[in-house]
């Protein structure tokens, strides 16, 4: 018998209750004639599921919700607030009982308040999200490693195909080893079997690669819930605050399709709840006061979610009275906080951000303790973000929390420039141009392109990425990019396809240029740069057209490591320093690549399955074509014995992962490879 008989019921019940709560709030609008029938189906489904797991209390509450909804089945207009309130109370009670299924049953008579029940249910939801995120992270890591191995196997299969083609080649005369006339029937049968095996393995690996890509995409979406996940709770909080204070209010939320890290949503949830309650309590005036000032009777509380490069901004604003500087000064005085001089709006905002100051005249369940802004400020600090307040007397207040996101889903366009493939966020691309030679005008401040009546700065992307200059061409492909109010034109060699990628931060030890927002991984697990539109546009506008000094010609570096994370880190460090880098995920693959191309240095992990780092270095030194290439060993083991073994194998450098120093690594590489 399972240890948790309610595991699947809790998941289903939470989804059904979320739908009921969201639908109940929409009932007051009365726009969708199918809404009530849909809510009835949700309540009926929940009732049946509860009876299956013998939760009669939840089943009876779901039946009561059906009774509330049934009279409005054919109603096209909005449902009266008292009936919506009744439905929401039932949803809260069911949510509390569902949450209690995973914890010791509360003592009789301690059901708690509606607010505490709602908060408990929400906390349960986000606790579940956090557990699932850890599991999805592990799945993503496994998929990435599997993709790398599949890519390696495909290369081996391609070699097998080439060898089979040689054996199957056209007859070259009697007695030729490769001719069909010289093969026995048994050899011919074995060759046919080998061909069938090669085709089957190749087709299977292609299918596996597609399946892995699809699995990674789906796992990414699980890893990054939509911002809209928290909208129902925020709308409910604003609605309840308005009902408690007797205010007329409309709540609106935008940007719900933006996907971001579940930890960010969980970390901001409480802060945003405080902000929307504050917007109602301190921003939205009573209806009579609003009408006296020429405003609609119902106030507006709006939450906007926007992605800005590697950050996500949550903007909560109202159209109310704005911050009353005099009231803030009086509240500060009551707290014993000196506020010198005449009431100043900027100083008043600073006082509010200190926390503990409330302009509410009386203590209510909604306001009066001065907690809201303090909670928002603490959430921003904890997430290494910023909090800004903008207010205008009589017109409203906006509170913005902007936080960096460790992972975010971004739609990009792949472009090639200077021999490298990079990713440009689609939302920053205004237009793709094909420039004729005469459309590029040179000037004292650099090249310019005329676009929509303005002379926009032009710069080849390869120059920004410190790559080789673009080859002369009759026509150029260029992107008109925007960042805020600024625009620039960026030249590329060619366009690739579009994709949705998972944006990852550049490793802390790799100093990324301002033009780089982060990295993503391609199908083989290798990192690709994702450009920061603001950094690119700023760099293009600052470019004077003077080409960078050409870098000294130097052979590429081969990184050999079975760890995806280490390969990505080392490749990012070296490419940021201007080196061309190839990667291999095993000693065997590394040796194969080393024999196919001239390298200036090998950077090799010691502990790898199969051929380890010592064996790789010994094999390279024994090869006449590779013996002169210096090698640096990188390992988590740093004893004198390990260093001695590395030196005996022929390594010219040794670096311990626990003492990893980017500057030392680059200095050593410059000394050995230039």
**What's the domain count of the chain?**
4
Comparing 228-242, 366-380, 563-577, 600-614, the range with the smallest average pLDDT is 366-380
Is residue 311 one of the residues assigned to a domain? yes
pLDDT at 389 over 70: yes
Q: Which of 372, 404, 436 is the last residue of a domain?
A: 404
| Beta-carbon contacts of residue 69 (< 8 Å; ≥ 6 apart) | 36, 39, 40, 43, 87
317 within domain boundaries: yes
* pLDDT tens digits, one per residue of 29-74: 776 778 888 888 888 888 877 876 788 899 899 899 988 888 887 7
Q: In terms of Cα–Cα distance, which of 456, 522, 502, 509 is closest to 483?
A: 456
Same structural domain for residues 388 and 416?
no
Both 372 and 236 in one domain: the answer is yes
The predicted structure's pLDDT at residue 359: 59
How far is it, in rounded angstroms, from Cα 558 to Cα 499?
28
| Least confident segment among 191-195, 548-552, 572-576, 638-642 | 548-552
419 lies in the same domain as 283: no
Residues 458 and 604 in one domain: no
Residue 504 is classified by DSSP as B
What are 298-335's pLDDT values in tens digits? 999 999 999 877 688 999 999 988 888 888 888 777 77
* The 3-state secondary structure of 603-653, one letter per residue: EEECCCCCCCHHHHHHHHHHCCCCCCCCEEEEECCCCHHHHHHHHHHCCCE
341 and 391 both lie in a single domain = yes
Is residue 110 in a domain? no
Domain membership of residue 172 (yes or no) is: no
My answer on whether 241 and 390 are in the same domain is yes
pLDDT at 117: 41
**pLDDT greater than 70 at residue 611:** yes
The answer to whether position 137 is within a domain reads: no
Tokens of 225: 């819930």
Rounded Cα–Cα distance for residues 241 and 251 (Å) = 12
Question: Is 517 a domain residue?
Answer: yes
Predicted confidence at residue 380, as pLDDT, reads 83
* 463, part of any domain: yes
The answer to whether 279 touches 285, Cβ cutoff 8 Å, is: no
Together in a domain, 442 and 508: yes
Q: Are residues 575 and 643 in the same domain?
A: yes
Question: Could you tell me if 662 and 616 lie in one domain?
Answer: yes
Instruction: Give pLDDT, residue 516.
Output: 85
Is residue 445 assigned to a domain? Answer: yes
Provide the pLDDT for residue 203: 85
Query: Are 363 and 456 within one domain?
Result: no
For the ranges 92-106, 383-397, 431-445, the one whose mean pLDDT is highest: 383-397
Mean pLDDT of the chain: 78
Percent of the chain with pLDDT over 90: 14
Range in 127-136, 148-157, 460-469, 662-671 the model is least confident about = 127-136
Show the domain range for 533.
Answer: 407-548
For residues 629 and 653, state if they share a domain. yes
Q: How confident is the model at residue 107 (pLDDT cuts 50, 70, 90)?
A: very low
Based on the fold, state whether residues 536 and 556 are members of the same structural domain: no
Q: Between residues 282 and 523, which one has the greater pLDDT? A: 282
Which CATH number covers residue 347?
3.30.565.10
How much is the average pLDDT of 636-641? 74
- Best mean pLDDT range from 245-254, 265-274, 577-586, 662-671: 245-254
CATH number at residue 52: 1.20.120.160
Tell me the mean pLDDT in the region 267-285: 86
Q: What tokens does 395 get?
A: 């017109």
The predicted structure's pLDDT at residue 509: 55
Nearest to 651 by CA among 596, 597, 612, 613: 613
What local confidence, expressed as pLDDT, does residue 130 receive?
A: 47
The pLDDT of residue 179 is 55
pLDDT for 109: 42
Report pLDDT for 314.
94
Q: Rounded distance, CA 17 to CA 365, Å?
A: 25
Could you tell me if 427 and 335 are in contact, meaning their C-beta atoms sit under 8 angstroms apart? Answer: no
Residue 105 class from Cβ within 10 Å (0-12 exposed, 13-18 middle, 19+ buried)?
A: exposed
Bin 174: left if φ > 0, else alpha if -120 < ψ < 50, else beta: beta
User: 294-298, 441-445, 607-611: which range is least confident on average?
Assistant: 441-445
């Amino acid at each position: 018998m399972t240890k948790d008989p309610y595991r699947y019921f809790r998941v289903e019940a939470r989804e059904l209750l979320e739908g009921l709560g969201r639908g109940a709030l929409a009932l007051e609008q009365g726009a969708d004639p199918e809404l009530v029938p849909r809510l009835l189906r949700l309540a009926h489904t929940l009732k049946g599921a509860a009876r299956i797991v013998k939760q009669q209390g939840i089943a009876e509450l779901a039946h009561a919700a059906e009774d509330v909804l049934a009279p409005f089945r054919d109603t096209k207009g909005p449902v009266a607030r008292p009936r919506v309130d009744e439905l929401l109370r039932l949803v809260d009670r069911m949510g509390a009982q569902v949450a209690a299924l995973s914890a010791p049953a509360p003592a009789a008579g301690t059901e708690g308040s509606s607010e505490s029940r709602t908060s408990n249910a929400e906390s349960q939801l986000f606790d579940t999200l956090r557990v699932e995120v850890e599991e999805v992270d592990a799945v993503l890591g496994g998929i990435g490693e599997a993709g790398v191995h599949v890519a390696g196997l495909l290369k081996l299969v391609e070699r097998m195909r080439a060898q089979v083609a040689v054996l199957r080649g056209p007859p070259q005369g009697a007695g030729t080893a490769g001719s069909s006339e010289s093969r026995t029937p048994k050899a011919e049968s074995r060759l046919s079997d080998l061909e069938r095996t090669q085709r089957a393995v190749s087709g299977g690996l292609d299918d596996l690669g597609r399946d892995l890509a699809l699995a990674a995409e789906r796992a990414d979406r699980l890893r990054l819930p939509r911002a809209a996940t928290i909208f129902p709770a925020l709308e409910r909080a604003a609605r309840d605050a308005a009902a408690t204070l007797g205010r007329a209010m409309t709540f609106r939320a935008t940007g719900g399709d933006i996907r971001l890290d579940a930890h960010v949503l969980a970390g901001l949830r409480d802060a945003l709840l405080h902000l929307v309650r504050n917007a109602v309590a301190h921003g939205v005036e009573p209806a009579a006061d609003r009408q006296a000032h020429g405003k609609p009777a119902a106030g507006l509380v709006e939450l906007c979610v926007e992605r800005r490069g590697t950050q996500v901004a949550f903007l909560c604003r109202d159209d109310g009275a704005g911050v009353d500087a005099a009231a803030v000064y009086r509240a500060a005085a009551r707290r014993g906080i000196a506020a010198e001089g005449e009431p100043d709006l900027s100083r008043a905002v600073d006082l509010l951000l200190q926390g503990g100051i409330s302009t509410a005249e009386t203590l209510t369940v909604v306001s009066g303790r001065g907690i809201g802004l303090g909670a928002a400020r603490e959430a921003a600090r904890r997430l290494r973000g910023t909090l800004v307040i903008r207010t205008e007397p009589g017109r409203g207040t906006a509170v913005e929390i902007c936080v960096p996101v460790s992972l975010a889903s971004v739609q990009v366009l792949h472009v090639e420039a200077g021999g490298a493939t990079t990713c440009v966020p689609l939302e920053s691309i205004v237009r793709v141009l094909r420039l004729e030679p005469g459309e590029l005008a040179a000037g004292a401040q650099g090249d310019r392109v005329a676009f929509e009546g303005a002379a926009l700065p032009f710069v080849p992307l390869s120059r920004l990425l410190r790559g080789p200059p673009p080859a002369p061409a009759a026509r150029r492909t260029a992107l008109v990019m925007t960042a805020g109010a600024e625009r620039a034109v960026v030249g590329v060699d060619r366009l690739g396809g579009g994709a949705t990628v998972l944006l990852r931060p550049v490793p802390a030890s790799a100093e990324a240029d301002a033009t780089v927002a982060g990295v993503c991984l391609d199908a083989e697990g290798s990192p690709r740069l994702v450009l920061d539109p603001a950094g690119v546009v700023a760099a293009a506008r600052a470019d004077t057209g003077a080409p960078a000094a050409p870098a000294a010609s130097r052979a590429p570096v081969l990184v050999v490591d079975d760890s995806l994370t280490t390969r990505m880190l080392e490749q990012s460090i070296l490419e940021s320093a201007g080196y061309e880098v190839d990667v291999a995920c095993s000693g065997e693959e590394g040796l194969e690549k080393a024999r196919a191309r001239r390298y200036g240095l090998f950077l090799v992990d010691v502990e790898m399955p199969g051929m380890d780092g010592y064996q790789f270095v010994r094999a390279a030194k024994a090869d006449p074509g590779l013996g002169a290439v210096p090698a640096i060993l990188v390992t988590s083991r740093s004893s004198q014995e390990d260093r001695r073994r590395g030196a005996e194998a022929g390594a010219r450098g040794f670096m311990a992962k626990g003492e990893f120093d980017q500057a030392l690594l680059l200095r050593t590489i410059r000394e050995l490879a230039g």
